A and B are shown apart, each in its own frame.
Chain A
Amino acid sequence: MTHVATTPQFKQNAHEALGDVQLQQALGNVRTGFIDKRAKAAAKLPEFEALRDSARDIKNHVLQHLDLYVEAYEAKVKASGGHVHFARTAAEANARIVEICKARGAKTVTKGKSMISEEINLNAAIEAAGMAAVETDLGEYIIQLRGETPSHIIAPAVHLNATQVEADFRRVHTHLDAARDLSQPTQLLTEARSVLRQKFLSADVGVTGANFLIAETGTSIIVTNEGNGDLTQILPKVHIVIASLEKLVPTMEDAAQILRVLARSATGQELTVYTTLSTGPRRAGDVDGPEEYHVILLDNGRSNMLGSEFEDMLRCIRCGACMNHCPVYHAVGGHAYGWVYPGPMGAVLTPTLIGVEQGGHLPNASTFCGRCESVCPVRIPLPRLMRHWREREFERHLSPVLVRGGLGLWAFFAKRPMLYRFSTGLAMRAMSLIGRAKGRFGWAPMASGWTKTRDLPAPQGATFQSQWKNRK
């Protein structure tokens, strides 16, 4: 039931993305907006760097004691009247959710924004079971209308512009006056609100993700800017939280500490507009809230990352700063990555979740510029983790033959300094003679990926080492 990955065709995806004029225009917002806002928010908080250290340490602590916190959390959820369901795989998670929905005879399931539900492709499972899944986050709602997946983990529709959204609304909202004015973004927003309001009121089950699960209290927390999450989880009779294991933190204070870097890193806000806590179902005397409260605790490969060289990735709090600062993401956008998670975090996580045979392009498609790591609020060494994937590919002989061959030939000479100096000395003189007049080559063997769009500067002539020998 999971999404079919187009990651093996990453190069083709990228090629199409680079030629997509509308997409390139939309990506302009990522290239500037997010970066400036994060920089300003970070600069305003003198303790920002210390908070990043603290966030990293909290997450590391949890990962080292994950078993204890899972048990403590489960006990607290139960004590508050909720249920915890452990799901090893996406299929198990989907099956549990469908089962819970069916038991209540649900027809409509509203959803808050959740990347985990994208990871397990929950909407398809709900719809296959004969129920309607309705995304209530504006961006998610728009891409659901278009039959698309998110192109960014916090701004799922960042690849679109207002004209496209207007066309989608006119295509789908046929019950509304065809002559209505939708030229302003606020008009689009108002229309989405009124359509979604009906869905909220008619929903039988609400599904949300979680930014944090608090072991101390059995509470789940979501952060949103639209308030849709609150309506999703408060109005229906059943609230289901779907979250992966690594969302656990020990205490409310720990969550509060990480919240201080989360929104600042993501959108540059000090806090998101809503930070919503939910603990168990409605208690006697509560004025609102669900009758049933379920948590689906998903593993889906996470426990295999514990203790491996990819464990650092489990600290990720899904802020999106890495992709916001990534030159490759800026160039091709999120869909080119071909599966659920784009950008640097996706380049590390995707091979973990769908296998390096399918996801292998992503950790290679990086310049290792390190800008992602420099902004990561929990200091994940993303380039290093991508390099670990390259190591695994190399060990398993998954790297392209041409790359391996070229590398092997280069290594043969690089490990033999005498031979290297002799042969490169000859080669550079020859290349210099050929390229002398222009000072550059318009074409070079084995380097067409370069020379198709760029010249290759020609060498000056005799190598440094040969000239140095003569100088002495």
Chain B
Amino acid sequence: MTVVENRPRVGLFVTCLVDLMRPSIGFAAVKLLEDAGCEVVVPSQTCCGQPAFNSGDKATSRDIATQVMNAFAEVDYVVTPSGSCGGTLIKHYPEMFADDPNMAGKARAFAAKCFELISFLTDVRGVSAVKSRYNGTATYHDSCSGLRELNIHDQPRKLLGTVEGLSLTELPDHDVCCGFGGTFAVKYGEISNAIVEEKTKNIVSTGAHLLLAGDLGCLMNMAGKLSRQGSNVQVRHVAEVLAGMTDLPPIGAPQGAVK
């Protein structure tokens, strides 16, 4: 047990979006976890299965959940830089197998070792400050799953408060959905757009030049709207700032151009 306490083996569930779209968030997560004294491993992975689960495809979601649980069987913790995927692992895997006596216990035990990145750092590893610097004003959007399924609210604000040079200004309606909702954003694009328009109005009203959140799906939605509106607000995952890894261009910005 002391081994676990001192240098736990953490399996990074990087999430499909981060894996494919913005690997730098994954490396920021690795840095934060290693700084917090963890050994990080990355088992072979695809997706948590949420798209199937939320589309009503129970069989596929169970298949993928089983695949994830097997891939991460040997680690002490599973940590993911997303409240949404975290919510799936922690809240919905047990739900998926609730009526399967062979798997229910396994899903519950698995869920118990899964954490969203920022809350893992603060609540499990006791991290109270980060060593990073960012000059500017940022505002933070609470992604729905992280906020309401996993109670992530204070943790990112607390750590962001220790970033040198960063001033954090509260976003009006920070707890209101950005309109992403996975496939919702494509299937009901017009409604999704109306919701994200409200969101970007609030973001711009803060005067912050940087928008942060803990979920890449929401971030891509808000970044996509901001850039279409011609806004110069930059958009990043909260882990990038906490890890001090903001040298790559922000989400949706031309590659090669820094800041």
Residues 456-472 (chain A) with a chain B CB within 8 angstroms: 456-465, 467-468
In the complex, whether A413 has a CB less than 8 A from a CB of chain B is yes
In the complex, whether A44 has a CB less than 8 A from a CB of chain B is no
Please, which residue of chain A has its CB at the minimum distance from the CB of B26?
A: A464
**Contacts A417-B45, A464-B14; is A394 near B56 (CB within 8 Å)?**
yes
**Contacts A407-B57, A455-B227, A463-B23; is A371 near B176 (CB within 8 Å)?**
yes
Please, which residue of chain B has its CB at the minimum distance from the CB of A390?
A: B56
- Pick from B27, B56, B145: contact of A392, CB under 8 Å: B56
Q: Closest CB-CB distance, B220 to chain A, in whole Å? A: 5
Question: Is there an interface contact between A454 and B60, defined as CB atoms closer than 8 Å?
Answer: no
Residues 134-161 (chain B) with a chain A CB within 8 angstroms: 144-145, 148-149
Question: Is there an interface contact between B191 and A391, defined as CB atoms closer than 8 Å?
Answer: no
Question: Is there an interface contact between B55 and A454, defined as CB atoms closer than 8 Å?
Answer: no
Q: Closest CB-CB distance, B26 to chain A, in whole Å? A: 4
- Hey, which chain B residues are within 8 Å of A448, CB to CB? 189
Question: Is there an interface contact between B144 and A368, defined as CB atoms closer than 8 Å?
Answer: yes
Question: Is there an interface contact between B55 and A399, defined as CB atoms closer than 8 Å?
Answer: yes
In the complex, whether A195 has a CB less than 8 A from a CB of chain B is no
User: Cα distance A468–B27 when bound, in Å?
Assistant: 9
In the complex, whether A327 has a CB less than 8 A from a CB of chain B is yes
Residues 402-422 (chain A) with a chain B CB within 8 angstroms: 403, 407, 410-411, 413-418, 420-421
- Hey, which chain B residues are within 8 Å of A467, CB to CB? 23, 27
User: Cα distance A438–B52 when bound, in Å?
Assistant: 32
- Hey, which chain A residues are within 8 Å of B18, CB to CB? 464
Residues 384-408 (chain A) with a chain B CB within 8 angstroms: 384, 387, 389-395, 399, 403, 407
User: Cα distance A11–B193 when bound, in Å?
Assistant: 13
- Hey, which chain A residues are within 8 Å of B56, CB to CB? 387, 389-395, 399
User: Cα distance A365–B22 when bound, in Å?
Assistant: 28
In the complex, whether B196 has a CB less than 8 A from a CB of chain A is yes
- Hey, which chain A residues are within 8 Å of B165, CB to CB? none
Question: Is there an interface contact between B252 and A411, defined as CB atoms closer than 8 Å?
Answer: no
In the complex, whether A257 has a CB less than 8 A from a CB of chain B is no
Please, which residue of chain A has its CB at the minimum distance from the CB of B197?
A: A453
Interface string of B214-229 (1 = CB under 8 A from A): 0000001101110110
Question: Is there an interface contact between A367 and B194, defined as CB atoms closer than 8 Å?
Answer: no
In the complex, whether A18 has a CB less than 8 A from a CB of chain B is yes
Question: Is there an interface contact between A371 and B24, defined as CB atoms closer than 8 Å?
Answer: no
- Hey, which chain A residues are within 8 Å of B252, CB to CB? 439-440, 455, 457-458
Question: Is there an interface contact between A374 and B148, defined as CB atoms closer than 8 Å?
Answer: yes
**Contacts A407-B55, A447-B186; is A456 near B20 (CB within 8 Å)?**
no
Please, which residue of chain A has its CB at the minimum distance from the CB of B144?
A: A369
A-binding segment of B103-111, B121-129, B177-185, B204-212: B177-185
In the complex, whether A428 has a CB less than 8 A from a CB of chain B is yes
Question: Is there an interface contact between B46 and A15, defined as CB atoms closer than 8 Å?
Answer: no
In the complex, whether A347 has a CB less than 8 A from a CB of chain B is no
Residues 1-50 (chain A) with a chain B CB within 8 angstroms: 11, 14-15, 18
- Hey, which chain A residues are within 8 Å of B256, CB to CB? 436
Please, which residue of chain B has its CB at the minimum distance from the CB of A419?
A: B46
Question: Is there an interface contact between A14 and B190, defined as CB atoms closer than 8 Å?
Answer: yes
In the complex, whether A332 has a CB less than 8 A from a CB of chain B is yes
In the complex, whether B233 has a CB less than 8 A from a CB of chain A is no
Question: Is there an interface contact between B177 and A327, defined as CB atoms closer than 8 Å?
Answer: yes
Q: Closest CB-CB distance, A40 to chain B, in whole Å? A: 16
- Hey, which chain A residues are within 8 Å of B20, CB to CB? 424, 427-428, 459, 463-464
**Contacts A395-B56, A459-B22, A464-B26; is A407 near B189 (CB within 8 Å)?**
no
Question: Is there an interface contact between A456 and B190, defined as CB atoms closer than 8 Å?
Answer: no
In the complex, whether B54 has a CB less than 8 A from a CB of chain A is yes
- Hey, which chain A residues are within 8 Å of B60, CB to CB? 407, 411, 414-415
User: Cα distance A343–B23 when bound, in Å?
Assistant: 37
- Hey, which chain A residues are within 8 Å of B223, CB to CB? 440, 455, 457
User: Cα distance A410–B57 when bound, in Å?
Assistant: 12
User: Cα distance A428–B86 when bound, in Å?
Assistant: 24
- Hey, which chain B residues are within 8 Å of A124, CB to CB? none
In the complex, whether B248 has a CB less than 8 A from a CB of chain A is yes
Residues 425-460 (chain A) with a chain B CB within 8 angstroms: 427-428, 432, 436-440, 442, 446-450, 452-460
In the complex, whether A116 has a CB less than 8 A from a CB of chain B is no
- Hey, which chain B residues are within 8 Å of A447, CB to CB? 186
Question: Is there an interface contact between B57 and A411, defined as CB atoms closer than 8 Å?
Answer: yes
Interface string of A227-270 (1 = CB under 8 A from B): 00000000000000000000000000000000000000000000
- Hey, which chain A residues are within 8 Å of B255, CB to CB? 432, 436-437, 439, 458, 460-461
Question: Is there an interface contact between A387 and B24, defined as CB atoms closer than 8 Å?
Answer: no
- Pick from A11, A439, A449, A454: contact of B225, CB under 8 Å: A454
User: Cα distance A455–B56 when bound, in Å?
Assistant: 28
**Contacts A415-B63, A437-B254, A460-B22; is A454 near B221 (CB within 8 Å)?**
yes
Can you pick out 7 interface pairs between chain A and chain B where the beta carbons lie within 8 Å of each other?
A18-B191, A332-B194, A367-B184, A368-B145, A421-B46, A432-B255, A457-B252
Q: Which residues of B contact A (CB under 8 A)?
A: 14, 16, 18-24, 26-27, 42, 44-47, 49, 51-58, 60, 63-64, 67, 71, 95, 144-145, 148-149, 175-177, 179-196, 198, 220-221, 223-225, 227-228, 248-249, 251-257
Q: Which residues of A contact B (CB under 8 A)?
A: 11, 14-15, 18, 327-328, 330-332, 364-371, 373-374, 384, 387, 389-395, 399, 403, 407, 410-411, 413-418, 420-421, 424, 427-428, 432, 436-440, 442, 446-450, 452-465, 467-468
Can you list the 10 inter-chain pairs with the closest CB atoms, starting with the nearest?
A367-B181, A449-B189, A390-B56, A394-B56, A369-B177, A464-B23, A454-B224, A457-B252, A391-B56, A369-B144
Given A364-B187, A367-B192, A414-B52, 10 more contacts at CB 8 Å? A367-B144, A368-B181, A414-B16, A440-B224, A448-B189, A455-B225, A457-B22, A458-B252, A463-B20, A464-B18
